[in-house]
Chain A
C-alpha cells in the first residue's frame, strides 16, 4: 500500500510545473478586470461631465497642474526603471536589478507623498465631501471632487498594492527565488505597475488638464 502512496507523491512532484505563459496570461486577465473596475468610474465621470460641463470646468481650475505634472513624470520614470530592472535581471545583473527596483519604490513613495500634500491642501481649504467650502459650491463641482477623491484615492490604493507586490518580488530576488531564468513574477509585478501608470495617464488630463 505504501508503495502506491509514494507513487502518488511522485506524480505530485511532477504536477508542480512551471508555466510562464500561463502565469502571464492570468495576470493580463486580472489587469483587464482592473481596467473595468476603473472603467465604471470613467463612465460616471463621462456621465457627470456631460450633465455638468460648467461645474467640471470651474472645479478643474482648483487643481495644481504643476504638482500633477511632477507626479506624472515620477510615475513614468518608475515605469521605465521597472522595465530596466527586468532587463538587468535577464542579463543576470542582480545588483543592478535591485537598484532599479529601489528607484521604482522610491518613485512610488514620492508620488504618494505628493498626493498627500495635494489632498492635504484641499482638505485645508474645506474642499472635501460635506466640507464647508464644497457645500457652497455647485452640484457639478461637488460631483467633480467626489469623483476626484474616489478615483485618485483608488489609484493611490493601487500604488500601495503595486509597491507591496514589488517589495515581495524584491525579497524573492534577494533570496534567489526569482532569478535570470525564472523571472516571471518580476515581469508580472512590472505589468501591474504599468497598469497603475496607465490609469494615471488617463486621470491626469481628465482632472488636471481639461479646462
Chain B
C-alpha cells in the first residue's frame, strides 16, 4: 500500500463526514463544528465569494482602461476600486486560500491525523476571517467613503485621506490575527500529530510547504498588525510616528509594511509550490525528483524571503549600501525557487505523464510562473528597477507570480482534491477546455502589462496617453477571455458537485495518505491510525488502483 503498510480494514462500514450525526443539526453542524474538513469547506465558500467580488472589480477596472479619459467611472471611483481589488484579493483570497482550504482539509489527513492540534482554535480562526471580511464590507458603506490608498496604505496619504481607512485597516488587522492563529495551529499539528512512522523526511511536500508558510505567518504577520494599529492611532490621535509634520518618518512605515508584506508573498506562493510537488509525481507516475532539496528549499525561501523587503523601496530614498545588499539578497531568494522548478521538470522527465485537468493547470503554472520569476529578477536588479518601478511592468510581474502562481494552483488544487472532498467527479473535458481558455486569457490580459510598463505606463493611473491604448485594448479583451474561462471552470465544478459521477477513493493513483481514506473521508479520517514505513511518493504499490482498473 501507499506509504508502506497501513493497517486499515473494513472502512466501508463507516459513513462519510457529511452524514455523521453530531451534536448539532443543519446549519449549526457547520457553524459550531471543530472538524478540520468542515472548516476547510466553510473557508472555501467564502474565499470563492471574495475572489469573485475582487475579480468583478478587476474586470470593471480593465473596462475603464479601454480608452483614455473617462470610460465608465470617475477617477475617485477608480482609485477606490484598485484599492478594493488589491485588499480583497490579497487579504481575503490569496493569503488564506490554499492554507485555509486545502491546508485544513488535506494536511491533517496527509499526516495521518484525525484533526489539527487545536480544533477549537481552528474554528476561531474561521470566525476571525469572517469578521474581518464583514468589517471590510462594512467599511465600504460607512465613514467617509471607500478607501483610496491602494492596498499598501502608504503614509502620509493614508493618514490624510478622508476616506474610511481606519475600518478597512482594522479589518486587515483582524484577518492577520486569523492568519497567525492558523499558522500556530499548523506548526503544532505538524510537530505533534504526524502518524507513527512518519518522520520529517517522510512527510508529503505539501505539508512541508505549509510548515514553512506557517512559520512566515507567525514571524511576519505581527509586524503588519502593529503597523496597521499605528495607522489607526495616527489618524485618531495624531501620535506622530508616521506623520512627517510631527517629525515622523514615512520611510519607517514603508520598512515596517514590507517587513511583513514581502514575506507575505511567500505565504501566498509556498503552499502553491507544495501542491505542485504533490500533483506532479501523481501524474508523472514517478517519485518526486529531489525530495529533500524541495523540502529544504521551502524553508530556505521562508528564511531568505524574510530578509529582502528593501527591494520594494529602491526608489524611496534608502541608502546605496542597503539597496545593493537588498538587491543581492533578492537574487539569492530566486535560487530555492529555481531548485523547485528544476526538480519538478526533472520529475516529469521520462515519467509516464497523464495530462488530466490538475496536471494541465500545473503545466500552465510552470510556464507562467517562470515568466513571473524571470521578470522578478529584472525588478530585483537595481538599475532596471529604477526604470520600471511603479509601472505596469511591476503589476504584470505581480499578477504573473501571484495569480499565475497561487491563483492557477488554487484552481489545480480544486480539481485535484475535488473527488476526495466531495466524492464526485467533474466533467474532465470541460475542465481541460476551461484550463486552456484561462491560460490564453491570462496571457492576453497580463502580457501587455510588461510591454506597456517597459514603455513607461505608470501603475494606478486613471488616464493615459493615446499611444498606450492598443495595449490596453488587448489587455481588456484578455480579461473577458480569462473571466469567461474562470466562470466556465466554476460552473463545471458546481455541476460536478450536483450531478457528477461517484468516484473511487483514489481516482488519480495518488500515493499520499489522503488517498487511502474513503472519498469523502469519514469523520475521523482513519478507522485505525495508519503507520508509515516509507517515503510519500512510492508508486510501486498504489492504494486503490486495483479496483480502478
Decide: B117 and A8 in contact? CB cutoff 8 A.
no
Q: Is A7 an interface residue (CB 8 A)?
A: yes
- The stretch from A35-43, A60-68, A88-96, A188-196 touching chain B is A35-43
Decide if the interface of chain A is mainly helix, strand, loop or mixed: helix
Chain A residue nearest to B524 in the complex (CB) = A11
Q: Are A43 and B249 in contact (CB under 8 A)?
A: no
Q: With the chains together, A132 CA to B326 CA distance in Å? A: 43
Q: Give the complex CA separation of A39 and B20 in angstroms.
A: 46
* Chain B interface, number of residues (Cβ within 8 angstroms): 47
Q: Which stretch (B88-96, B222-230, B351-359, B395-403) binds chain A?
A: B222-230
* Contact of A139 with B247 in the complex, beta carbons under 8 Å: yes
Interface of B, secondary structure class, is helix
Pairwise interchain contact A130-B188, C-beta atoms closer than 8 A = no
Complex Cα distance, B524 from A22, in Å, reads 20
Q: Does A74 contact B (CB under 8 A)?
A: no
A-B contact count (CB 8 A): 125
Q: Which residues of A contact B240 (CB under 8 A)?
A: 129, 139, 142-143, 146
Interface band, chain A:
35 or more
Q: Within 8 Å of chain A (Cβ to Cβ): is B477?
A: no
A171 within 8 A of B: no
User: CA–CA, A38 to B233, complex, Å?
Assistant: 15
B213 at the A interface (CB under 8 A): no
Which residues from chain B contact A140 at a C-beta distance below 8 Å? 247
Q: For B225, what are the chain A residues with a Cβ–Cβ distance below 8 Å?
A: 37, 40
B241–A146 touching, CB < 8 Å: yes
Contacting residue for A37 out of B187, B226, B252, CB 8 A: B226
Of the listed residues A7, A33, A37, A139, the one surrounded by the most CB atoms of chain B closer than 10 A to its CB is A33
B149 at the interface (CB under 8 A from A): no
- State whether B223 touches A21 (Cβ < 8 A): no
In chain A, positions 1-28 with a C-beta closer than 8 Å to chain B are 1, 4-5, 7-8, 11-12, 15, 19, 21-23, 25-26
CB distance from B541 to the nearest CB of A (A): 27
Question: Chain A residues with Cβ under 8 A from B230's Cβ?
Answer: 44, 150
Listed A/B pairs (23) with beta-carbon separation below 8 Å:
A5-B21, A8-B20, A11-B524, A19-B192, A21-B192, A26-B121, A26-B184, A26-B185, A33-B184, A34-B222, A37-B226, A40-B222, A40-B226, A40-B227, A41-B226, A48-B249, A51-B249, A129-B239, A142-B247, A143-B248, A146-B240, A146-B246, A146-B248
Q: Which positions in A face B, CB cutoff 8 Å?
A: 1, 4-5, 7-8, 11-12, 15, 19, 21-23, 25-26, 29-30, 32-34, 36-41, 43-44, 47-48, 51-52, 129-130, 138-140, 142-143, 146-147, 149-150, 154
